[in-house]
């Protein structure tokens, strides 16, 4: 049986919360259905075109959707600049 101390438990909780936040952001920003999100693989993310390839979408079709989560670090820095 695995036993965690208080620090390990806190780290685990933060990791789970961060992961769930990522999933919620992905669902919201890309218009995913829950089952589509659960079937995603790393190869489905196209960082160059900022697209996500959804296989076996509604009706067994394939589609692409925009992803705000695929933005580069430079894009994120540019967005944070407010003169």
* Number of domains the chain is built from: 1
In a domain, 76, yes or no: no
In a domain, 1, yes or no: no
Expressed as residue numbers, the domain containing 65 is 12-71
User: Cβ(50)–Cβ(67) under 8 Å?
Assistant: yes
In a domain, 30, yes or no: yes
In a domain, 78, yes or no: no
In a domain, 2, yes or no: no
Concatenating the DSSP letter of every residue in 29-77 gives HHT--HHHHHT--GGGEETTTTEEEESS-GGG--EEEE-GGG--HHHHH
In a domain, 83, yes or no: no
**pLDDT per residue rounded down to tens, the chain (83 residues):** 778 899 998 998 988 888 888 778 777 777 777 778 778 888 988 888 888 888 877 788 888 887 765 555 555 555 554 44
């Amino acid at each position: 049986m695995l036993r965690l101390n208080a620090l390990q438990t806190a780290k685990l909780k933060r990791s789970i919360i961060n992961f769930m936040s990522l999933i919620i952001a992905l669902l919201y920003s890309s218009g995913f259905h829950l089952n589509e999100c659960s079937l995603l693989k790393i190869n489905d993310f196209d960082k160059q075109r900022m697209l996500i390839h959804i296989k076996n979408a509604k009706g067994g079709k394939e589609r692409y959707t925009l992803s705000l989560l695929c933005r580069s670090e430079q894009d994120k820095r540019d967005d944070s600049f407010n003169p």
